[in-house]
Amino acid sequence: MERRAQDGMSMNGIRGLQSRMPPVRKRRKGRTSAGNGEGGSRAFAADTTVESAAGEADDATRNICNVSAANGDSPPLASSPPPASSPPPAPTPAARKVRELLEGQGGLGFGRYFTDHMLLMDYEEGAGWGEPRIVPYGPLLLDPAAKVFHYGQTVFEGMKAFKWKDGRARLFRPLDHVRRLNRSCARLCVPAVDEGCLLRALRRLVAADADWIPDAPGTSLYIRPFVVATETQLGVAPSRSYRFVVICSPVGAYYAEGVRPVAIYVETEHVRAVAGGVGDAKTAGNYAAGLKAQEAAARRGCAQVLWLDGVEREYVEEVGSMNAFFRFGDEVVTPPLGGSILAGGYPGFGNQSAPGLGSIRPRAPH
């Protein structure tokens, strides 16, 4: 049965959500933020370095880091502002390409174009993760017997870099994404990646492709790290080798409609995840499991699927590629993180503070 969220606030699931959520704490002033679905939210806090982000920085300072202030090994940003007296530099080929794509028919879209470079890092049992290396963007050569193709042992992340008004590139919440990646790795038996090493490598990659970062409102550089199991053996067991890859894509809005209300299809037949499964890991199977409902949603003119819980099919869990929260007067409530929901970087989840909305706590588990 089709149910649309925009006319369905009285339906059982959402009513149930309200009655089973704890109240939220009082609103705090001074910061604003907007979740945006796949891979990141808009920047809202002071900038900091990757090193402080990886350390004990509090949540007001750890969310954004400069790309250009990397360990001395990042190429300088071609897009850094020139000294006041010199004429503006000619746009680089990458900057010209991004401008052309932005102004072309269809604009940048989401995830259609890719930058000049990618990051690779390999793991071998016994040796651990090797050194990350930045190489020209291109196809991967994988053995058809690689375990990823057969048993789905793979995880990914989605994060963003923004071009700020001062012309510099900044990564948004990189530490949170690296940590979530490692949580997904743990669930899928993939060996953890060193946080500091990965943060430094991400900054080098984004610095190398900084001219690909669009600067029009609503645009960003989407960064997609992922790991695939590469051991060539048909047998269900954790792989003994992996390839870690990061690719980058200049993007516009995730939804063709832009940041406007989108029609949501409430899925009552299929479920995305159940507690105890892999719903709280960012792994390909969760998204493959959602395709059937996504098709049904599209047939009915809806942009996304609202998932209900896998047991009672009544309680709101999340929307296809984003977390869901609801505001009732002064209260903001979220579904509980019971193992079936991907804990988004959105600061309302996981007991963090929610800029502009107050402090949100998930309701108690079912």
Ligand X SMILES: Cc1ncc(COP(=O)(O)O)c(C=O)c1O
| Residues making contact with ligand X (CB under 6 A) | 35, 38-41, 158, 318, 321-323, 342, 344-346
Residue 179 or 313 with smaller CB distance to ligand X:
179
- Report the distance separating Cα 311 and Cα 290, nearest Å: 17
For CA atoms 10, 12, 16, 19, the dihedral sign is positive
Whether 165 is catalytic is: no
Rounded to 5 degrees, φ, ψ at 228 are -125, 145
CB of 39 to ligand X, least distance (A): 5
Residue 77 or 337 with smaller CB distance to ligand X:
337
CB 161 within 8 A of CB 169: yes
CB of 279 to ligand X, least distance (A): 8
Residue 123 or 320 with smaller CB distance to ligand X:
320
Residue 78 or 275 with smaller CB distance to ligand X:
275
CB of 157 to ligand X, least distance (A): 8
Query: Of the listed 29, 165, 282, 292, which one is catalytic?
Result: 282
Exposed, middle or buried, 351 (CB in 10 Å: 0-12/13-18/19+)?
A: exposed
* 3-state DSSP assignment of residue 214: coil
Residue 48 or 321 with smaller CB distance to ligand X:
321
Residue 39 or 132 with smaller CB distance to ligand X:
39
CB 347 within 8 A of CB 325: no
* 3-state DSSP assignment of residue 347: coil
Residue 360's identity, in one-letter code, is: I
Q: Which residue is nearest to ligand X (CB)?
A: 344
CB of 232 to ligand X, least distance (A): 30
CB of 176 to ligand X, least distance (A): 8
CB of 41 to ligand X, least distance (A): 6
- Report the distance separating Cα 71 and Cα 74, nearest Å: 7
Residue 62 or 147 with smaller CB distance to ligand X:
62
Number of Cβ within a 10 Å radius of residue 210: 27
Number of Cβ within a 10 Å radius of residue 350: 16
- Report the distance separating Cα 241 and Cα 236, nearest Å: 14
The two structure tokens encoding residue 255: 């939804």
Residue 316's identity, in one-letter code, is: V
Q: Which of 21, 22, 65, 68 is nearest to 176 (CA)?
A: 65
CB of 220 to ligand X, least distance (A): 12
* Half-sphere exposure for 225 (CA within 13 Å, toward CB): 26
DSSP letter string over 45-64?
S-EE-HHHHHTT--TTTSSE
Q: Which of 235, 171, 158 is nearest to 203 (CA)?
A: 171
Residues labelled as active-site residues = 282
